[in-house]
Every structure is written in C-alpha cells, then in structure tokens.
Amino acid sequence: MDELIKRAARDLAAAKNVAALTGAGISVESGIPPFRGKGGLWEKIDPMEYAHIDAFMRDPAKVWQVLIKEMKDIIDTARPNPAHTSLVRLEKMGKMGTIITQNVDGFHQMAGSTDVIEFHGNFAWQRCIDCDRRLETGKVDMSEIPPRCECGGIYRPECIFFGELIPPEHLARSQMVASQCDVLLVMGTSALVQPAAYIPVIAKEAGATVIEINPEPTPLTGSVSDYLIMGKAGEVADQIVAELERLL
C-alpha cells in the first residue's frame, strides 16, 4: 500500500485541478450509518414508508419520529474525521477544487471545504415548507414533533427525498467538474447509485487520473479507476496528504 500512497501523492503533486467524489464510506468513520448495504439504515426501515416525499407530506410527524429525529441526534454529536479534513488540507495547498458528495451530513462544509456540491442535499439544515425559512438542524426545537417554524409551517430537512429530483444545476455542474479535472479522488462510495456513479466515467473519458479509496473493490475497480487504495478513507487520505506535503 505504501507504493500506492506515494503514487497518489505524486499524481496530486503534478495535478492542477483535483476534484473528489465522496460517499457514505467516509462518514461511517464519524459514526454516521450508511443508508445502503450491511448495517445500513434501509435494513431497519422501509425507505418507501419513511424516506419518500409522499410519505413525509402524508404524515410528517411519523417521518420525523422514525427517520429525521434519529439523523438529527447523530449529526448533533458526530464530527468530521480525517477523510474530511484531508480534503481541506488539499484545498489549502491549492490542489483541491470541487467536492461532489452523496452524503447528507454537511461534514465537508463543517470541516472547512468551501466548494461542495451536495447531490442529495443535507440533513444539516431544515427548511420551512410554507415560508422557506432555513434553520440549522442543531437549533431545531424538538419539543413538538414535527417541529414548526415561527410561521406555523413544518420544517423538513434540505435533503432529497425519494420521489424528488436531484437539482439539475447540481448534476450539470458535477458533470462539468468531472470533465475538467485532471485527478478525481473517489472516496467511500460503492459506485452503485446513479447518476453519481457516472461521474468517475466522465472524468476518465476526459483524460483524468481516477484514484479510488475504498475498503473493497467496486464496479469502478479495474475498469474506470486507475488504481484502488484499499483501506479506511480517513487513514488513507491522511497518509496521502502527508506524503504530498513532504513532496512539496
């Protein structure tokens, strides 16, 4: 693995425009459970019953009680880990440009990254469905479920529910970022969920070096990614940036 760490550092040192695609795997190290896969949230609850926009509009109290309240409790106490802070270090070195994330925890911004495209929105902020007032999730008054805005409207997280579309401007900008970067870091994503899974393909076809950091191979491995560094995203990213700092 040491040679791959050094190879990644060399690729980053030579790069002028680095982007990243991140998934649930990087936030698992902060204690945020994934939605899919073994131990994921969808093993416990039916996403169509609790995570579809129709379910929320039909019975917001039920969705808040079972899904959103639990996510709020986790995000209130969890914090970014070295996977997030390593990308901030890359940005401060003038290497990291845009981060495209599938995560909804807001940890990239909390860690200090300044250019983040949130494919699926986030749970870090709530928005009133009547007046559009925004409030940080940690400041929501939970004495009433569902919590309500001063205007009387119900708060909902700024995430994308099932049944809602990814904002087209996010998709378009993500595709542009992928087509213009010369290195794409793919971190903690299974590369199974579209359209995010196609971002590395766009980067590869445009000539970028695609570096995959995951605990196990994915559909990208051996076909799209130039190489895979197997391990926890935080540990691997921290080692890569430390080696890059040494090189520079």
Q: Which of 52, 84, 108, 120 is catalytic?
A: 120
Is this model's pTM higher than 0.75 or not?
yes
Confidence band, pLDDT 50/70/90 cuts, at residue 148: very high
Please tell me whether residues 115 and 128 are part of one structural domain: no
Beta-strand relationship, 183-187 and 18-22:
parallel
What's the pLDDT score for residue 52?
A: 92
> Where does a domain end: 159, 187, 207?
159
DSSP structural state of residue 33: P
Between 67 and 182, where is the model more confident? 182
Tell me: do 87 and 155 sit in the same domain: no
**Mean pLDDT calculated for residue range 51-72:** 89
**Cα–Cα dist 100/26, whole Å:** 13
If asked whether residues 126 and 215 sit together in one domain, one would say: no
Q: Is 95 helix (H, G, I), strand (E, B) or coil?
A: coil
pLDDT per residue as tens digits for the range 214-232? 999 999 998 999 999 999 9
Tens of pLDDT, residues 150-190: 999 999 999 999 899 888 999 999 999 999 999 999 999 88
In a shared domain, residues 134 and 201: no
Would you call 120 a catalytic residue per the annotation? yes
Domain count, the chain: 2
Say whether both 105 and 154 belong to one domain: no
Q: How confident is the model at residue 193 (pLDDT cuts 50, 70, 90)?
A: confident
* Domain region containing 43: 33-77+122-159
Over residues 106-116, the pLDDT tens digits come to 899 999 999 99
Distance of CA 244 to the CA centre of its chain: 23
pLDDT in the model for residue 41: 62
